[in-house]
Structures are given as structure tokens and as C-alpha cells.
Amino acid sequence: GAGVSQSPSNKVTEKGKDVELRCDPISGHTALYWYRQSLGQGLEFLIYFQGNSAPDKSGLPSDRFSAERTGGSVSTLTIQRTQQEDSAVYLCASSLNSYSNQPQHFGDGTRLSIL
Amino acid sequence: ILNVEQSPQSLHVQEGDSTNFTCSFPSSNFYALHWYRWETAKSPEALFVMTLNGDEKKKGRISATLNTKEGYSYLYIKGSQPEDSATYLCASGTYKYIFGTGTRLKVLA
């Protein structure tokens, strides 16, 4: 079956521009997560959606970052007024539910480069 | 331990060698320990989810053990092959994982 799909796979943009990253989770998965991996760093939690509950935004690094999940399916991560430190691989994952024994299924990521 | 730590950071082994690496995690309020394999240019792939102290899981030549009381898990690869080359990540927590920085394994033919 189809896995988690992310687009674009690569994005190069100038500092100060806004970018939008898209994630299409596995059908039927109620939990969706965004992470990023900066160069030399581990995976950093950004935001979590579970069903119709309010998202856990505690990992968003600044108010330039926002995310939404429409209709409980597709999610978009938006970064406004991008900075060079935003350059990273942004990964989306989904899981059947939010129980800790459920593995997360990852997309291939979006590699974001800010010039 | 306040964070999830993995060691070594990287290692090179010869084809056919067996190897193992460590994940250390906070032992208090433990929920689950996850292992992922992340090949270059691919997405992380779930290997194991472990929840009980003493758990041992196996998938082919790869196996893992869990000690929740002392807060560590070992991942073992028996008879390493070049296709095992990847970064191996562990994560602990509830829905909001804390990931380690990974062990980068290179298997030399």
C-alpha cells in the first residue's frame, strides 16, 4: 500500500521567503508528526496531530513555523520569512494511533535549503 | 540520563563481522523504546518496538534487547552485510519521541 508521501523532495529558496511543505499520511492513520533534522543533529520533534484533538505544537522553534492538518489527513508545514538556520531535512510520519507501542511510518522528507 | 544517547556515533566493520551498539534512555516513566534503520536517501524504517523489561526482538540477522530498569537497549547485527550500512536510530517516549543522534554503520565489502 501507499506509504507517507512528502512534497517537494527538495526545496531551495532565498532567505526571507515563505515555504510550504506537504505531507500525505498513510490512509487510516490518525496520528501525524513533523520532525526536522539539521546538519549533525538528531531528529527534532516539531508538532503532533491526533485525530480532532488540538495539536501539540511544543516543538515548533519559533512563531514563524505553523502547521495544519485538514480533514484529518493531509498536513502542511509553513515556514514564514525563512532564515538560514531553517535549512534542514523535514520529515513527516504517521502512525495508526498515538499509543507508544505503535511504530511511526516516515516519508522520504523534504530537504530545505535557505540561501 | 535526561536524554536519549547512542553509542558509538559511527563505526566501520568488515563484511561478515558481528556488531552491536547501545541506546541509553531515561528509565523513569518509561513507555516504549523504538529502533529505526535509516538508509541514505530513504525514509527511516521501523525495526522494533519494545515495551517490557527483558524484551528481546529479532528480525533476520538483527536483534535487540531491552533493560528498562537501567535504561538501555542493545541492537545486534550478526554477520554484517554491505546492505546493512545505514544509520540506526533509537527513540523513547510516548507519542513525542526523543530520538538519539544515531549510530552510523558502514559495512565494508
Q: What is the pLDDT of residues B31-54, one digit of tens each?
A: 899 999 999 888 999 999 999 999
pLDDT at position A2 is: 80
Question: CB–CB of B64/B52 below 8 Å?
Answer: no
Q: Is A4 exposed, middle or buried (0-12, 13-18, 19+ CB in 10 A)?
A: buried
Average pLDDT in the A52-72 region? 91
| Joined grid coordinates for residue A86 | 531553517
User: Rounded to whole angstroms, how far apart are CA atoms B33 and A97?
Assistant: 16
pLDDT at position B32 is: 92
Q: Which residues 60-89 on chain A approach chain B with CB closer than 8 angstroms?
A: none
Average pLDDT in the B65-91 region? 96
Question: What is the pLDDT confidence band of residue B70, given thresholds at 50, 70 and 90?
Answer: very high
CB contact under 8 A, A43 and B32: no
Give the containing element (helix H, strand E) for A93: strand A88-95
Residue % of chain A over a pLDDT of 70: 99
pLDDT at position A39 is: 85
Question: What is the pLDDT confidence band of residue B96, given thresholds at 50, 70 and 90?
Answer: confident
User: Rounded to whole angstroms, how far apart are CA atoms B38 and B103?
Assistant: 10
pLDDT at position B2 is: 60
Q: C-alpha angle with apex B102: A105 to B14, nearest 5 degrees?
A: 110
pLDDT at position A83 is: 97
The answer to whether A39 faces chain B, any CB pair under 8 Å, is: no
User: Rounded to whole angstroms, how far apart are CA atoms B7 and A51?
Assistant: 36
